[in-house]
């Protein structure tokens, strides 16, 4: 699974020349919709295909970093799981628990966006500094800590000698009161 996802990331980076999830969505021809119809701790986003048009809907009540990761996560579904979305009766994938580790599709989308947004070299340089712990590294890399955990998992699977001090947490973003910016 990791090889398949990482290959898709490399193709996306080569084809679109960006690590910005919003530019990726535009590059794949998806319409990005920012919706304020959802409570701040409810639905984070979903991807859908209607009338051959791809959509990524992002809850705009989230913090900026969470919105960016959500947009990229939905782009990952549109790239990796387009056939699954098209075969679904509702033609959509919904994400309440963005960093879910429970299902294959969520795990693949999380791995994709972690590798897409964070390049290996920058992560290694950040991790190598003695004055930086895991949470400081996530803050410096401008990503929520659970996204860094997925990146470190991917890097480990690809042969890097790195360890994550936290497990892949299926409920990380659903916990009220947590700050990730």
Could you tell me which of 174, 170, 177 has the C-alpha nearest to residue 149? 170
Q: What is the pLDDT along the chain (181 residues), one digit of tens a residue?
A: 679 999 999 999 999 999 999 999 999 999 999 998 876 557 788 899 988 899 999 999 888 988 999 999 999 999 999 888 888 766 556 554 555 556 788 889 999 999 999 999 999 999 888 888 899 999 999 998 989 999 999 999 999 988 777 767 645 544 444 545 4
What total number of domains does the chain contain? 1
The answer for residues whose C-beta is within 8 angstroms of residue 101's C-beta and 6 or more apart is 107, 110, 168, 169, 170
Q: What is the pTM of this model?
A: 0.84
Phi, psi (degrees; rounded to nearest 5) at 48:
-150, 155
Does 173 reside within a domain?
Answer: no
- Tell me which residue range forms the domain holding 104: 2-160
Does 101 reside within a domain?
Answer: yes
């Amino acid at each position: 699974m990791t090889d398949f996802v990482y290959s898709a990331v490399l193709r996306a980076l080569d084809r679109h020349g960006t690590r910005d999830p919003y530019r990726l969505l535009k590059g794949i021809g998806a319409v990005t919709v920012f919706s304020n119809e959802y409570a701040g701790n409810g639905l984070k986003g979903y991807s859908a295909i209607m009338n051959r048009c791809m959509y990524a809907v992002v809850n705009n009540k989230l913090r900026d970093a969470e919105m960016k990761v959500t947009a990229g996560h939905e782009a990952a579904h549109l790239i990796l799981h387009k056939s699954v979305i098209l075969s679904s009766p509702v033609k959509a994938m919904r994400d309440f628990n963005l960093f879910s580790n429970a299902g294959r599709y969520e795990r693949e989308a999380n791995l994709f966006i972690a590798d897409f947004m964070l390049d290996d070299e920058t992560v290694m340089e950040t991790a190598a500094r003695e004055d930086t712990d895991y949470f400081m590294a996530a803050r410096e890399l401008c990503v929520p800590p659970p996204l860094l955990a997925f990146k470190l998992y991917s890097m480990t699977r690809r042969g890097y000698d790195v360890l994550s001090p936290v497990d892949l947490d299926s409920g990380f973003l659903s916990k009220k009161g947590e700050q990730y910016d």
